[in-house]
Amino acid sequence: MDTKAFKRNLNQSQNYYRKGFGHQEEVAGVLNTEYQSSLIQTIRDRNYQLQEGNVTIHLAESFGFCWGVERAVAMAYETRQHFPTEPIWITNEIIHNPSVNQRLREMNVHFIEVDADNQKDFSGVGKGDVVILPAFGASVSEMQLLDEKGCIIVDTTCPWVSKVWNSVEKHKKRNYTSIIHGKYKHEETVATSSFADKYLVVLNLAQAQYVADYILHGGDKAEFLEKFKNAHSEGFDPDRDLDQIGIANQTTMLKSETEQIGKLFERTMLQKYGPTELNQHFMSFNTICDATQERQDAMFELVDKDLSLMVVIGGYNSSNTTHLQEIAVEYNIPSYHIDSADRIDVENNRIEHKPLEKDLEITENWLPEGPIAVGVTSGASTPDKVVEAAIAKILMLKNAPAIV
Ligand code: SF4
């Protein structure tokens, strides 16, 4: 399918919106009240540090709502204002944050149901219904379906995600295979891969190394296909489809790993084809989003401080939040990933949290006695109000309620 032509036509359709509806000012006021926090602003103003009683809170210097998320949430609110009576749907969580998604439900925005096989059920969506595409985008087939149904599409896809799609289009134009650093099930990667003709999704450096070794030395094709089951395009053949490759990424992956993977494949193709032919076999564009970079860089600065523990706040299915947690773990700092302040039980000094790649678990007496320094950060989908609530509970637990 000519995805470029499809997107071009969609852009020109009268039923397609990718900018706001002119209610920015009203919506900004509402969003401020619902999601911003004066406590967090005070901590920012105090050089990202708050000292109360025997607790020092160190806030990351970049955290929380990114530009793309703010824009998507604002567009969703504007859509409700602009279409006050029409049924409004969203193809997925607008962003990976439970409180924001709950707020949209309260505004009578319906979420497309997903069945046990992870298939979305669009049967309830009718002609003229308004459908919002989330910040991490939607697959070409979904957009096509909604367009054919005669829906009004409000596309909040972050421009950084669109930038990756453009890279994939460039790979496709030259018949290259897109190697996408991402999670093959993540909505953004599903959308990105839908723009490619040939693609392979690698999760991490270890998988990338396996592919690089295969490129240089060949290997067991059946094993390769089994290892990347569900993570490649239909009919993908590693013996045929890895001689021209372009690199793309899910925007929220660990920046250092995306860079390492890009360099690994560049070295691999250089070794196989030599410098004069490299350009005919390898393509790479920098598509790591600024917000992801800044939040990860701020986390590296935070873990350098003398911390007793870390609290990382964000949706459990939020890729960028999980990567912040990975950094804390890498630096051996006890770290608790929570999706809301409700996970902290002040009465019993107990926290329900999600360790990396594990199910939720409860830790008793998680806040040590005596003076403590707590690092706090949050993913790009987390409102400041949620961070405020978590900090307030930490202070309460230490009998040091914020007096700011
Ligand atoms: S994390 Fe980056 S790509 Fe994702 S919504 Fe925010 S700015 Fe856009």
Tens of pLDDT, residues 123-172:
999 999 999 999 999 999 999 999 999 999 999 999 999 999 999 999 99
- Cβ–ligand 1 distance for 380 under 6 Å, the answer yes
Do 160-288 and 37-66+291-397 fall under one CATH topology? yes
253 neighbors 319 (Cβ within 8 angstroms): yes
Distance 355 CA to ligand 1 centre (A): 24
Q: Measure 221 CA to ligand 1 centroid, in angstroms.
A: 36
Residue 119 has pLDDT above 90, yes or no: no
Contacts of 353 (CB under 8 A, 6+ apart): 336, 337, 338, 343, 360, 361, 363
Name the band, by pLDDT with cuts 50, 70 and 90, for residue 54. very high
> Does the structural domain 37-66+291-397 have CATH classification 3.40.1010.20?
yes
Q: Return d(Cα 251, Cα 255) in angstroms, integer.
A: 9
Looking at residues 197-210, what average pLDDT do you find? 97
Phi, psi of 140 (to 5 degrees): -60, -40
Confidence band of 41 (pLDDT split at 50, 70, 90) = very high
Question: What pLDDT does 177 receive?
Answer: 98
Residue 292 in contact with ligand 1 by CB distance below 6 A = yes
251 close to ligand 1 (CB < 6 Angstrom) = yes
Q: Is the pLDDT of residue 404 over 70?
A: no
> Lowest-pLDDT range, 84-98, 293-307, 354-368?
84-98
Find where tokens 């397609």 sit.
16
CATH of domain 13-26+67-158: 3.40.50.11270
Q: Which H or E run contains 294? A: helix 290-303
User: What is the predicted pLDDT for the residue at 137?
Assistant: 95
Are 126 and 87 in contact by the 8 Å Cβ rule? The answer is yes
CB 324 within 8 A of CB 59: no
User: pLDDT tens, 310-335?
Assistant: 999 999 988 899 999 999 999 999 99
pLDDT at 44 over 80: yes
In percent, the amount of the chain with pLDDT more than 70 equals 99
Q: What is the pLDDT of residues 121-131, one digit of tens each?
A: 999 999 999 99
Q: Residue 170 class from Cβ within 10 Å (0-12 exposed, 13-18 middle, 19+ buried)?
A: middle
Q: Is 252 in the pocket of ligand 1 (CB under 6 A)?
A: yes
The predicted structure's pLDDT at residue 383: 94
Please provide residue 378's backbone torsions phi and psi, each rounded to the nearest 5 degrees.
Answer: -150, 155
Is pLDDT above 80 for 211?
yes
Best residue for ligand 1 mutational test, from 75, 161, 319 (most atoms within 8 Å of Cβ): 161
- Residue 400 pLDDT greater than 90, yes or no: no
Protein fold of 160-288: Cobalt-precorrin-4 Transmethylase; domain 1 (3.40.1010)
- 386 ligand 1 Cβ < 6 A: no
Does ligand 1 lie within 6 Å of residue 253's CB atom? no
Domain ranges, ordered by start, for the chain: 13-26+67-158, 37-66+291-397, 160-288
- SS3 state at 248: strand
The predicted model gives 282-290 an average pLDDT of: 88
Alpha carbon dihedral 84, 160, 93, 65, in 10-degree steps, equals: -90
Instruction: Tell whether the model's pLDDT for residue 93 goes beyond 90.
Output: no
CA 251 distance to own-chain centroid = 7
Query: What residue type is 400 in one-letter code?
Result: A
Q: What's the pLDDT band for 254 if we cut at 50, 70, 90?
A: confident
Strand partners, 373: 56
Q: Is 266 tagged catalytic?
A: no
Can you give the pLDDT at residue 97? 83
Binned at pLDDT 50, 70 and 90, residue 96 comes out as confident
pLDDT at residue number 403: 60
Q: Residue range 374-382: average pLDDT?
A: 95
Angle between helices 24-35 and 384-397 (to 10 degrees): 10
261-270: average pLDDT: 97
Atom number, ligand 1, closest to the C-alpha of residue 69 = 5
Pull the structure tokens for residue 68. 């793309």
By the 8 A CB rule, do 343 and 280 touch?
Answer: no
Whether residue 402 is predicted with pLDDT greater than 80 in this model: the reply is no
Residues 6+ apart with CB under 8 A from 169: 3, 4, 195
Among protein residues, the one with the nearest Cα to ligand 1's atom 7 is 68
Q: Which of 75, 188, 250, 252 to mutate to test the pocket of ligand 1 (most atoms within 8 A of CB)?
A: 252
CA distance to 113, 350, 371, 393, per residue, from 400 (Å)? 44, 17, 11, 10
Determine the pLDDT at residue 288. Answer: 83
Q: Which residue has the higher pLDDT, 255 or 352?
A: 352
Q: Inform me whether the pLDDT recorded for 387 exceeds 90.
A: yes
Catalytic residue (one of 70, 93, 187, 188): 188
DSSP 92-111: S-SSS-HHHHHHHHHTTEEE
